[in-house]
Structure 1
Amino acid sequence: MPDDTTEDDAIDRILADWLRERPDLDASSIGVLGRLLRLANQVRAVESSYFDEYGLTLASFDVLANLRRSGPPHRKTAGELATSSMLTTGGITFRLDRMEEQNLIERVRTREDRRVVYAQLTAHGKAVIDEALGKHLDKQRQMLSGLSLSELDQLAALLKKAEASVVAFDVNATEAVGQGS
């Protein structure tokens, strides 16, 4: 596996520009967060290309995967889906309407409380997510093939730590705003 990390990339050039123009500032965070944003955009572009084969978007794939990993009977309410996915409740409702039209999910009411409506995978939806998930995981492995297993473990641990840092920052910022600071 070639190591391309020694060549300058766009982020290195941005950092060099800031160092030249504002040497008084520490722009090193761009080296991490800028690369994460660029990486996320590149991954999304690759994912979109193969989700299209299944008539899915990233959002519908996320909903189907969420339902599939929940175990039988593979159903959740819109609120439960919003809590455990990357969408808002409004976004979930819109997505569920489209997915119902595609016969990927069906809406099911409970006998105990007719107000509670579940989104449940159909047999077709289960077949689609099972096939799409296999391809998705294979493509992810291919995209990360430039990293060794130990590098993947190390990167995953560092990203988990970075996410916790960002979440802690957000909580602190929210508390400061709430206190009028």
Structure 2
Amino acid sequence: MSSNEINQSLKLFIVLSRAYRAVNENVNKLIQSYGVNPTEFAVLELLYHKGEQPLQQIGGKILLASGSITYVVDKLEQKGLLNRVACPNDRRVTYAQISEEGKKFIEGVFPDHESKIHEIMSNLSVEEKDVLIDLLKKLGLSQV
């Protein structure tokens, strides 16, 4: 392994990190303008698109430490955007379920969210997006 290869890997890491930070900061500002934080938005989006979820599994699906889930779910429940539902078959399991108010909220903001992400990604052609998706999947899957 040459020093050029090592330097290229380091450069890729820096470019990838900066690109992620720039995109993420842009999207997070938009999410915060909706009156929720990015983690709350991620939980609502998950529940809206995938249906009710056991509290214990939400963290893994949105990349959040399990200890933080209770806090986020509490805040969303206080805002009336989700409900806790006891599992009828197993008292140890509680589900988070998006409320009607939560559905209205997501349906009201998601088109804007989707449009902003598309705008951020619009510097890339369809083909470039496909290549980048494939390459990033390859990189991510090689780390598992």
1:141 paired to 2:118: yes
Report SS of the residue matched to 1:26. helix
Task: Choose the corresponding residue for 1:129, options 106, 120, 130.
Answer: 106
Between structure 1 and structure 2, the one with the greater Rg is: 1
The one of the two structures with greater contact order (alpha-carbon pairs below 8 A, sep at least 6) is 2
Say whether the 8 Å CA contact 1:104–1:121 is kept in structure 2: yes
Which residue is equivalent to 1:166?
143
Residue 157 (structure 1) aligns with: 134
1:113 aligns with 2:93: no
Match of residue 35 from structure 1 = 15
Q: State whether structure 2 residue 86 is matched by structure 1 residue 86.
A: no
Which of the numbers 42, 46, 49 marks the counterpart of 1:69? 49
Q: Which runs of 5+ in 1 are unaligned?
A: 1-22, 168-181
Tell me which residue corresponds to 2:79: 102
Indicate how the Cα distance of structure 1 residues 102 and 149 shifts in structure 2: closer, same or farther if over 3 A, else same.
Answer: same
Deviations 1:38-95 (A, max 9, x none): 111111211122112221211111111111111xxx2111112123221121111111
Contact 1:62 1:86 in 2 (8 A): no
Q: Find the counterpart in structure 2 of residue 59 from structure 1.
A: 39
Percentage of identical aligned residues: 30
Normalised TM-score (structure 1): 0.72
Change (3 A) 1:32 1:24: closer
Checking the alignment, whether the CA contact within 8 Å between 2:32 and 2:38 is kept in structure 1 is: no
Residue aligning to 2:24: 44
Q: What are structure 2's unaligned runs of at least 5 residues?
A: none
- TM-score, structure 2 normalization: 0.89
TM superposition shift of 1:116: 2.0
Give the distance between the partners of 1:135 and 1:24, measured in 2 at CA.
Answer: 43
RMSD: 1.8
Report deviation, 1:25: 7.9
Query: What is the one-letter code of the residue matched to 1:48?
Result: N
Give the residue type in structure 2 aligned to 1:100: E
Instruction: Provide the C-alpha distance between the structure 2 equivalents of 1:108 and 1:143, rounded to a whole number of angstroms.
Output: 37
Q: How many residues align?
A: 142
- Deviation per CA, 1:120-145: give whole Å up to 9, x if none: 10011111122332222211110111
